[in-house]
Structure 1
Amino acid sequence: MDKHRHEKKTLWVVLLTALTMVVEIIFGITTKSMALLADGIHMGSHVLAIGLSWLAYVIIRRWSAVQTGQGRSDKVLSLSGYTSGLMLLIFAVIIMVEAVGRLYHPAEIVYKEAILVATIGLVVNIASAFLLHHEHEHSDHNIRAAYLHVIADAFTSLSAIIGLVAAMKWDIPFIDTIAAIISSLVIVKWAIGLLKDAGLALMDMPGKQKKEHKH
């Protein structure tokens, strides 16, 4: 039953995230905010990753209709979580590369519009996090991956807002870019942690998993 509830939750988050992604990318380009554009691009990675999480639950539901196999289901969830973690890592690196490029080629930012859209993105991510959070997330790498994706995007939205406000107040545009770089570094750390945990599950090493779960 938990997996079926997670399937519905992840589908709602995918649809909500996809809509916000389009808005943030459009306004990131029009306002020339690197942090906002980075947030939109990063949210695009979430559409793919959380979509993958949703697909994993669909596959498991269809399998359960014809056979039982908890071990196989767990492998599917761990594989989906590992893939999502890899996508999170790749997109974080892409954001850093784009941000570094912006340091060498600065652009004028339309601050108020960028801050408004980043705030909308933050609200969407917080709502998504509440939808995906559950007390057993450490035992289900698939839902944990989806949860980490929206938490990571909430973090990039918040850093974008802080960077934009600071840049507007003190007229230092590169703060916006620095915020994007810092948030990407934090996301890289989260992604590596997810890859390690899901990788251990895929290699059937539950001892380490249980030890970490206690913390």
Structure 2
Amino acid sequence: MNRFYDAPFGIGHDHVFLGEGHDKNERKTWAVIALCSLMMIVEIVGGKLFGSLALVADGLHMSTHAGAMLIAALAYTYARKHANDPRFVFGTGKLGDLAGFTSAIILAMIALLIGYEAIARFLSPVPIHFGEAIPIAAVGLLVNIASAWLLNGGDHHGHGHSHGHNELVGHEHKEEVQHIKAGSGVYALSIFEDGVPPVFRIRALFEGVELSAQDVTVTTIRPNGKFQVFKFARSTDFLESTTAIPEPHAFRAVVMLPVGEHSLTFEEHGHVHDDYGIDARDHNMRAAYFHVIADAAVSVLVIIGLISAKTFGWVWMDPLAGIIGAFVIANWSFGLIRDTGAILVDISPGDSMANKVRGAVETAGDKLVDLHVWRLGPGHLGAVVSVITHEPQRGASFYHTMLRQFKGLSHISVEVHLQP
């Protein structure tokens, strides 16, 4: 049995696995810190000048708010500055997840403190200075709304990208790649439609073969019997059809290659962005966003409780609002701890990408004997693939070429076993 390796995606590739909106999210987080710090100074100074202990207390609370944001901001800055540091074997993409995990722990502690304080007030009610407490809670709510607005924009949900390795497929909209096994080789035919009219792209997924544009045609046959012939032109290491593909993309495609004729079926999937099941969420931004939303939710509950207590004498509404807020924060923090913790210990991110890799290898007629897929950063997956093949000409680069079609699979290490 022969065994040989190849460097992932070629020599000299980088290991920058940061999220798509990393720089923008970093700027947003520092902006929120500036807002919270300003509010903190105003409240503490105002409290000292006017003798309001409640203002000083809320100012100190705002300092913890800024401190939590500081964790996120420093993680963004450090990850960016050390993105190419060789000491980080797989880059700094997980620093955001580590910061998110830390922030989630802090959120859980805050939930416990709020819950403890609320229960204590149930057992031993304290006088409430409504004239100060309600306006302060309202100002705190406004600051949290402003912070949430600064952090919002969809980036905490995230969309990954292909890390620059995917020349054939790129950022497709529900890209469907079809494989053709012909002779001792495999060909890939796909529909490419990122920022351009939809076109066919085809390439040979093995070394030593360069398709000629004159020798390849694709004929589409639609359900109504209408057909169209597509010719191709050379574009770097693949062929691209010279005419666009009309909608809908539901047809049988007859592919004429030098090795013969092959029939494939394409189905219409619409223009839904396909991340192959990749978690592209920026958990650092998600934690920061949850923090301000949790604070805003508590502010709303506090305002409701204070107004109810002042208007109807329901003093118990104030601690009840605290308990409800504690449960809400605890629930959010648990979800964040679960998601970020799974990433930090390299739990498999699901079966979607693994099934794609397995299907591509088996379509090529080889056997997948070992596969490990894990998250490197927002929108980036790494994979270690071990394959048994009977084809002596198939080196590791053959499988790199085959697998780089999958968006978000940013780093691949391949082990090949030749079995005569």
**In which range does the TM-score fall when normalised by the shorter chain?**
0.7 to 0.9
Give the C-alpha shift of residue 204 in structure 1: 2.3
Task: Write 1 or 2 for the structure with the bigger share of strand.
Answer: 2
Identify which of 303, 316, 322 aligns with 1:180. 322
Give the C-alpha shift of residue 46 in structure 1: 2.8
| 1:14–1:51 contact (8 Å) kept in structure 2 | yes
Give the C-alpha shift of residue 209 in structure 1: 10
Cα gap change, 1:190 to 1:82, in 2 (>3 Å): same
Amino acid at match of 2:82: W
Task: State the match for 2:145 in structure 1.
Answer: 126
Matched, 1:59 2:64: no
C-alpha distance in 2 between matches for 1:209 and 1:14: 39
| 2:36–2:143 contact (8 Å) kept in structure 1 | yes
Give the C-alpha shift of residue 200 in structure 1: 1.5
Q: Across the two proteins, how many residue pairs are aligned to each other?
A: 204
Identify which of 25, 28, 32 aligns with 1:9. 28
Amino acid at match of 2:77: V
Identify which of 253, 276, 294 aligns with 1:152. 294
Q: Secondary structure at the match of 1:137?
A: coil
Task: State the match for 2:308 in structure 1.
Answer: 166
C-alpha distance in 1 between matches for 2:351 and 2:24: 24
Of the structure 1 ranges 8-17 and 138-147, higher mean CA displacement relative to structure 2 is found in 8-17
Cα gap change, 1:17 to 1:166, in 2 (>3 Å): same
Identify which of 80, 103, 119 aligns with 1:84. 103
TM-score by length of 2: 0.44
Give the percent of matched residue pairs that are identical in Structure 1 and Structure 2.
38
Give the C-alpha shift of residue 165 in structure 1: 0.5
Amino acid at match of 2:137: A
Identify which of 129, 140, 151 aligns with 1:110. 129
| CA deviation string 1:154-177 (max 9, x = no partner) | 001100100001111111222111
C-alpha distance in 2 between matches for 1:103 and 1:144: 33
Amino acid at match of 1:118: A
| 1:122–1:154 contact (8 Å) kept in structure 2 | yes
Give the C-alpha shift of residue 21 in structure 1: 5.0
| 1:45–1:91 contact (8 Å) kept in structure 2 | no
Cα gap change, 1:15 to 1:207, in 2 (>3 Å): same
| 1:99–1:180 contact (8 Å) kept in structure 2 | yes
Cα gap change, 1:7 to 1:136, in 2 (>3 Å): closer
Task: State the match for 1:198 in structure 2.
Answer: 340
Cα gap change, 1:130 to 1:208, in 2 (>3 Å): farther
| CA deviation string 1:100-159 (max 9, x = no partner) | 112222222111321111111111111111111232413111011000000000001100
Note the 1:35-50 alignment, pairs <5 A: 43-50=62-69
Unaligned runs of 5+ in 1: none
C-alpha distance in 2 between matches for 1:209 and 1:153: 36
Larger Rg: 2
Matched, 1:140 2:159: no
| 1:43–1:153 contact (8 Å) kept in structure 2 | no
C-alpha distance in 1 between matches for 2:337 and 2:292: 16
Amino acid at match of 1:130: W
